[in-house]
Structure 1
Amino acid sequence: MTVFLPHSFVVFLSGLNCTSFFRPLKMNQCWFFLPMLRAVRRHSSSRSPGRRYTTATFPTSFAFDREETAAPISIPHLKLKMVLSSAVSTTNHVWNTYLDALNSIESSEIDLETHQNVLRRCTSSTEDMRKGSKKRYLRLSQPAAGHAYEDRFQSVIQNILALGRRPSIEDYHFVLEQFAAVGHSIGSMQVYKEMKGSSKCQPNNVTIALVLQSIAHRLVVPERKADRSDTVHHAAGLLKQLLDDMQNMGLPWTSTNMDLTIRIMKHTSDEESFNNLLRLCYGVDMRYPDKLPLDTEASALLPFTTHTLNTVLNMYGVCGNVSRLVQAFEVLTVPLPHAYKHFAAAFDDDDDFGVNPPELHSRLVSADLRRKIIVTPHLSDVHAPSMSVNRNMFLSVFGLSNRNKNITLMRWVHDKLAKVLKQKKADLLHFSNFVKHLKKKGQWPPPELPSRNPQVPMSAGPEYVEIDDVRWRLADIDDVLAVDPQRQHLPSLHPPKPLDLQLHLRILQSDIDDLTQLSEYIRSVLARTIERVKDRLGRRVWKGKDIFLKSEAEKAKVAGQDKVRVQVSKDKWREIANYKPKLGKGGLARPPSHFHHERIRREFAQQVRAERMEKRKAMAALKSSLKPPQSDPTSVADNSTQP
């Protein structure tokens, strides 16, 4: 590649001190300028006197991807590129460098990619903008609406338009994300209108979601009561305009847009728009809630879930329309695809005589539900458990207690481990007997059933929004901004797995083996830890030093004393530590205080009782051997009758 440079520029580069020029920058980032400088110096000596340009040949392998890279046009442009390539450059540094480049050269000399990089680097991240906006609204009584760097966005967009190019849809979405982070609904609508006027960047579902998010964020920020009505009225107008544009452009409804729209209607209380939204998205016309509208296709509707029903009821309750609330509750509780079964006779005949009500009440419904509950479900309808208490769960807590020598926590882990072991053994016995029962009846293994399509929830956000009140809360801002506008498709849910009894039994047996081994290990570690603590405290007592006792600390706290460490006597410490002498000649000793568990005490008591019983039996045998034999009374009588 051959590049022609002006003679004045070559002379300037030849006399340039490279070290002083790159001192404010980083040498490892100048991978394209140093080869150019060496080439210029190498070919400057062979320049013709009559030529105004110098021929310099640049290698084509400057970058690691072996692509040809054009030389920078000017020094300010080069400096701007290097600042943008640095990850430690601040937003103000990037913007000041960009302004210096614009003042030194024309904006047309800067390529489109550089303008786009400046657009993304001249502002803080959305998380920082959210925090700053929240603090500003809480600190000021009447904060000015808008974005702190809105002027920068406008300047960069104008410079891109001056190049004869159009900003991409990603550029507009970046600006909308920044406006949504601070609740700048007016600026979002201006960007949205500019996108509508462009032939190449038409709004899509992501654009609508970002504008809705900015409106919802604006409604949850704190403000004066005098300005609340104007804000709500303006938000209602913007929402109506967006809904009309979505219908005119034929954009389909997504769960994210539906969620954000409900958030806005929670504050605007626009019942008419809410009814239109129900009719468009769910096919529910509250004037005739028992049938689908004639101009609605059932395949294009979102699923009507229980959360949606609660939202509808809460919305009408906030608006004060009690009759519509009761009507929605009585009719929408029956699934709409099957509602014609309950209302066909009522619409065919003029008389409603003999038609049963769609829902019974009180005791009849309760009795029917109880009968359905007690029916044993099919094995394929039982879902596999998604969580299991195993060795790893206890091991982390036990490791913490062992490192800190926390006897209380270690003792708690040991007790809980025994309860979990008991429950798992009971489950293992129950399921084993159940499998044996199925084998006797010839119902094992159970037949495989076809997979069922799971019901997809409406909301794609982390949580569904309930319409509770219209008061502002600090958590509302994070709740609104938690919705991801980029997620415009329903999440793909994995179908629930049925319970596999064989696999479940293997997991139970494996958990029991691991927990049993861990329980024995924790038992030994607990005993060793308690003994070491007793020995350490005993050495302090024998040296006459003070120790910490919980009982004495509580007394000192009640008395208002600061000293919680006390000195105890050796006899008192023997009583506290439960030191006991040996029992008998057999070498059997009382267990130390760490053998406080019920199992250890029971084994010790059984051992003591067994030894005592053996001693009693030995004593009884000894006594019986020492007694004289008694004479038979019949033999004495016979002897007395003889002469």
Structure 2
Amino acid sequence: MANAMTSGLAYPLLRFTSLRPLHRILQGPPRRSSGISPAPESKIHAISVPAPVDRIRQRNFDLLLESLEINGNPSRVWTNYTNLLTFLEYEQLPVEFHQQVLRKCTPSSRLLRASATRRIFLGNIPRLPHVYEGRLQAVIRNIRATGVQPTLDDYNFILEQFAAVGHHTGVMQVYRELTSVGIVPRTKTFGLCLQAIAHRLTLPVGRKDRAQLVAVTRRMVSDLVNAMKSLNIPFTSVNLDLTMRILKETTDAQGFELLMKWGYGIDLANPDRPPLEYLDSSRKGPAPQTFSTAALNMTIDTLGRLGNIPRMVQAFEVLTTPLPKRTTTTSSTYNDEDDDDDYPASPESTPAFSPPCASPNTTTYNILLRHVSRAGHAVFARHYLLQAMHLDKQTLLELKHNIGNMPLQEVPAPHFAINRGTLLSVFGESNRDKNVGLMRWLHSKFYRILKKKRNEHQFFSLFRAARQRKRLWPYEEPSTYVELAPLPSHPKHTAPGTAEQPAAKRRPRFMTIMERWKAPQRCR
């Protein structure tokens, strides 16, 4: 069948188009007249009966056109496509039909990713990562047989299919093929290649094959990054995040530092000052990406995996503290009165540079505490746990202030709270090193943390009940404040005859948020 397809596509479109034009093919066979009067005798001899092969060919073409229009089953599309190519002989289909078949002969990338994950859990690992790779290769060969090169969108579709299943070798073969024919890749092309490599590193692999996989992926990422530099294609936030994730898994310290310097403008050797490349006024290149909390977590986790604890602590302290913005002009600092230099100090013009900074969240502290605890730094573990407890308290106070003075729709969501992962790492370090002092200190904090969490749960439960009772949830005004009901007193502490007290002497039923916050029941 493959030889028949190849031989049939090697000749120009002659007989197929001579029989019926393309617009007539799309319209289908003509309808016969429903009348009962016979046709004139002069026209009977002009009607030509099509050959059986032509009828079968037209039928296969109609079936393919129908399956493409209704977005049918990919296997049905592929069957109709191959059947039509078998009966075309030396004729050719237009390129548009090949491109439509290319995009509809396989399931979507979302379904492919789910089915590949299911097969891995069941132990049914196919020989090829992409089950329908042969179909994609055959369609690309058929497009070339028409004398037309596939477009970049065609190659990007194949890269998207390979990225869904983590076919890292396939994406690099497709990338080399499209560059060899003179097609210039775009940002999306590099992003799909990086996505396939990052997804492959998350799939299971044998212990003996892990080292080879890491070496291969490291070389692939190096080739892609060098190509982006040569083509002057800037990093997007998604591509930069994927590249950092790959370098974190492959523990490439040198590549990670170069990527941080190029992508975010951070020199990990001196994080409190901009890199020398950004101080050059003649530098031409893309601006650094915004340093986000996710990038901060990736940086802390990568440095911790590399085992460089001092640099990890240094990066955390500098990148979470806002530094003063560098001015555009810097004057000479040598203004000594005893200086006999007659030449005035001329200002040195340097480009403006904003020091990167990001706010830490719960994941940041959990990652930091996990790495310092595994390294056996009990002092660091205790210090950052105290810092996390203080940040948790400040976050709660800010949240209570915001919900009492702002509409609920405008209150920013809190991003930090102590959880089980924050405490477990420190407890594990004290257990491994038999540090009884750290274990006792940590045990003394448990009761305070649990009591604080219970009070928070009670406070916000009363807040939610008060809002639902007053029906102010979707109708809040900026000037309104919400009153909370007092905590229900226990029956044994209730004085007899409280319900019979006059209304003037009775305690108010509701309290404002600030009064509730200052109440004695709050854990201090």
Picking from 64, 69, 85, the partner of 1:85 is 69
SS in 2 for 1:285: coil
Contact 2:171 2:193 in 1 (8 A): yes
The answer to whether structure 1 residue 321 and structure 2 residue 304 are counterparts is no
Alpha-carbon shift at residue 94 of structure 1 (Å): 1.7
Contact 1:424 1:508 in 2 (8 A): no
Question: Measured at CA, do residues 383 and 346 of structure 1 come closer, stay the same or move farther in structure 2, by a change above 3 Å?
Answer: farther
Question: Measured at CA, do residues 369 and 222 of structure 1 come closer, stay the same or move farther in structure 2, by a change above 3 Å?
Answer: closer
Alignment partner, residue 143 of structure 2: 160
The answer to whether structure 1 residue 294 and structure 2 residue 276 are counterparts is yes
Identity of aligned residues (%): 31
The answer to whether structure 1 residue 385 and structure 2 residue 368 are counterparts is no
Picking from 30, 33, 56, the partner of 2:28 is 33
**Residues 157-191 of structure 1, C-alpha deviation per residue, up to 9 Å, x if partnerless?**
11111111122222222111111111111111111
**Inter-partner Cα distance in structure 2 for 1:372 and 1:133:** 42
**Inter-partner Cα distance in structure 1 for 2:134 and 2:410:** 52
SS in 2 for 1:109: coil
The answer to whether structure 1 residue 204 and structure 2 residue 186 are counterparts is yes
Picking from 113, 118, 131, the partner of 1:135 is 118
**Inter-partner Cα distance in structure 1 for 2:201 and 2:130:** 16
Q: Which amino acid aligns with 2:253?
A: E
Contact 1:130 1:182 in 2 (8 A): yes
Contact 1:141 1:224 in 2 (8 A): no
Alignment partner, residue 131 of structure 2: 148
Contact 1:281 1:301 in 2 (8 A): yes
Alpha-carbon shift at residue 135 of structure 1 (Å): 2.3
Could you say which structure has the greater relative contact order, defined with CA pairs below 8 angstroms and 6 or more residues apart? 1
**Residues 254-292 of structure 1, C-alpha deviation per residue, up to 9 Å, x if partnerless?**
111112112212211111111111011111122333322
**Inter-partner Cα distance in structure 2 for 1:507 and 1:370:** 23
Map residues 346-425 of structure 1 onto 2, 5 A cutoff. Answer: 384-386=407-409, 422=466
SS in 2 for 1:300: coil
Q: Which amino acid aligns with 1:33?
A: G
Alignment partner, residue 192 of structure 1: 175
Alpha-carbon shift at residue 318 of structure 1 (Å): 0.2
Map residues 434-583 of structure 1 onto 2, 5 A cutoff. Answer: 503-505=477-479
Contact 2:78 2:105 in 1 (8 A): yes
Question: Measured at CA, do residues 507 and 157 of structure 1 come closer, stay the same or move farther in structure 2, by a change above 3 Å?
Answer: farther
Residue ranges of structure 1 left out of the alignment (5+ in a row): 11-29, 55-70, 350-360, 389-415, 429-500, 513-597, 599-603, 610-643
Q: Which amino acid aligns with 2:409?
A: S
Alpha-carbon shift at residue 124 of structure 1 (Å): 1.6
How many residue pairs get aligned? The number is 361
**Inter-partner Cα distance in structure 2 for 1:344 and 1:368:** 38
Contact 1:196 1:202 in 2 (8 A): yes
Contact 2:15 2:91 in 1 (8 A): no
Contact 1:179 1:188 in 2 (8 A): yes
Residue ranges of structure 2 left out of the alignment (5+ in a row): 1-13, 50-54, 337-382, 412-459, 485-490, 492-496, 503-524
Alignment partner, residue 220 of structure 1: 202
TM-score (norm 2): 0.56
**Residues 455-493 of structure 1, C-alpha deviation per residue, up to 9 Å, x if partnerless?**
xxxxxxxxxxxxxxxxxxxxxxxxxxxxxxxxxxxxxxx
**Inter-partner Cα distance in structure 2 for 1:5 and 1:44:** 29
**Inter-partner Cα distance in structure 2 for 1:346 and 1:107:** 82
Contact 2:266 2:275 in 1 (8 A): yes
Q: Which amino acid aligns with 1:35?
A: P
TM-score (norm 1): 0.47
Alignment partner, residue 65 of structure 1: none
Question: Measured at CA, do residues 139 and 508 of structure 1 come closer, stay the same or move farther in structure 2, by a change above 3 Å?
Answer: same
**Residues 286-307 of structure 1, C-alpha deviation per residue, up to 9 Å, x if partnerless?**
2333322232369711122343
The alignment yields a C-alpha RMSD, in angstroms, of 5.2
Question: Measured at CA, do residues 9 and 195 of structure 1 come closer, stay the same or move farther in structure 2, by a change above 3 Å?
Answer: closer
Picking from 100, 103, 113, the partner of 1:117 is 100
Question: Measured at CA, do residues 152 and 422 of structure 1 come closer, stay the same or move farther in structure 2, by a change above 3 Å?
Answer: closer
Q: Which amino acid aligns with 1:282?
A: Y
Bigger Rg, which one: 1
Q: Which amino acid aligns with 1:79?
A: L
Contact 1:141 1:223 in 2 (8 A): no
Alignment partner, residue 102 of structure 1: 85
Contact 1:291 1:339 in 2 (8 A): no
**Inter-partner Cα distance in structure 2 for 1:284 and 1:605:** 66
**Inter-partner Cα distance in structure 1 for 2:321 and 2:288:** 17
Alignment partner, residue 311 of structure 1: 298
Alpha-carbon shift at residue 147 of structure 1 (Å): 0.8
**Inter-partner Cα distance in structure 1 for 2:184 and 2:32:** 45
Question: Measured at CA, do residues 31 and 417 of structure 1 come closer, stay the same or move farther in structure 2, by a change above 3 Å?
Answer: farther
Alignment partner, residue 524 of structure 1: none
Question: Measured at CA, do residues 113 and 344 of structure 1 come closer, stay the same or move farther in structure 2, by a change above 3 Å?
Answer: same
The answer to whether structure 1 residue 285 and structure 2 residue 278 are counterparts is no
Contact 1:137 1:143 in 2 (8 A): no
